[in-house]
Amino acid sequence: MARRDEADLRAAILQAATAVFLTEGFSSASVGTIARAGGVSTKTIYRFFETKTDILVAVISSFMEVVLPGFDAYVVERAEELEPVLNRLLTDTAVYGLSDAGLAANRLAVTEMMRVPEMVAAYYREGHEKLIAAVGRWLARQVAAGHLALAAPERAAAMLLSMAYSDLTREAMISGEPPSSARIADWVAEAVAIFLRGVSVDRR
């Protein structure tokens, strides 16, 4: 049998941990269960991660690696590009975050909030706060380019994300069903339009 390389082992651990955390909850999940699900030994897991919280942080980081690069990659050359680019970025992020897996992760955080506060802190630090920071960097670049007028881009990013996602997330958490792609796109487009009307230099 061919020996699995380090990258393959780590990926197997994270895939297994994701499934175990979402089905059993963070506090009920054990490193042994994750090891069995990933086809590795607990010793192998501890070679990569010191604690179960470290595993969770790596799982969240792997999700964010899909979402965050776009905010640093997209360059807006003209003010007219602001709205369509921001729509695309936020819609793609919302579709990912409001998927079955994304909603399951939110339910996990809510369920574990009182029992494992350090887990919830890690969830928001590695997920929500990094997303706010990435959107804040994107907005700051538009301020530097003269497209937007904002005194505090990261604070504005938090407000924009709340406007774009919070109610959709709450609805989905209550109904148990992710919103349709069309509903997400419509909601994000309206949030972006309202936001830009307030902060775009050429709309003032």
% of the chain with per-residue pLDDT over 90: 54
* Predicted TM-score (pTM) of this structure: 0.84
Classify residue 116: in a domain, yes or no: yes
Q: What is the CATH number of the domain that holds 127?
A: 1.10.357.10
Q: What is the mean pLDDT of residues 63-91?
A: 87
Residues 46 and 73 in one domain: no
Per-residue model confidence (pLDDT) at position 1: 41
Host domain of residue 170:
57-203
Q: How many CB atoms lie within 10 A of CB 107?
A: 15
DSSP letter for each residue of 55-109: HHHHHHHHHHHHHTHHHHH----SGGGHHHHHHHHHHHHHHHHTSHHHHHHHHHH
The DSSP code for 180 is P
Angle at which helices 181-199 and 153-175 cross, to 10°: 160
Do 84 and 23 sit in the same domain of this protein? Answer: no
Structure tokens at 129: 């706060």
Number of folded domains in the chain? Answer: 2
188 domain residue, yes or no: yes
Model pLDDT, residue 203: 58
Q: What is the pLDDT of residue 77?
A: 84
Helices 153-175 and 82-97, interaxial angle, to 10°?
Answer: 40
If asked whether residues 143 and 44 sit together in one domain, one would say: no
Q: Assess if residue 108 is contained within a domain.
A: yes
- Whether 143 and 71 map to the same domain: the answer is yes
Average pLDDT over every residue of 6-33: 90
Residues 192 and 119 grouped into a single domain: yes
Tokens 């919103």 locate to 179
- First vs last Cα of the chain: how many Å apart? 66
Most confident of 49-63, 71-85, 168-182, 183-197: 183-197
With 60 as the cut, is the pLDDT of residue 2 above it? Answer: no
86 in a structural domain: yes
Q: How far apart are CA 82 and CA 200, in angstroms?
A: 9
Where residue 10 sits, what CATH number does that domain have?
1.10.10.60
pLDDT tens per residue, range 122-131: 888 888 899 9
The answer to whether residues 36 and 71 belong to one domain is no
Q: Identify which has the larger pLDDT, 182 or 200.
A: 182
What tokens appear for 193 in the block? Answer: 């339009």
Residue 1 covered by a domain: no
* Cβ–Cβ < 8 Å for 35, 77: no
Residue ending a domain, choose from 17, 32, 50 = 50
Please indicate, yes or no, whether residues 105 and 10 belong to a single structural domain of this protein.
no
Query: Rounded distance, CA 145 to CA 85, Å?
Result: 15
- What whole-number percentage of the chain has pLDDT above 70? 97
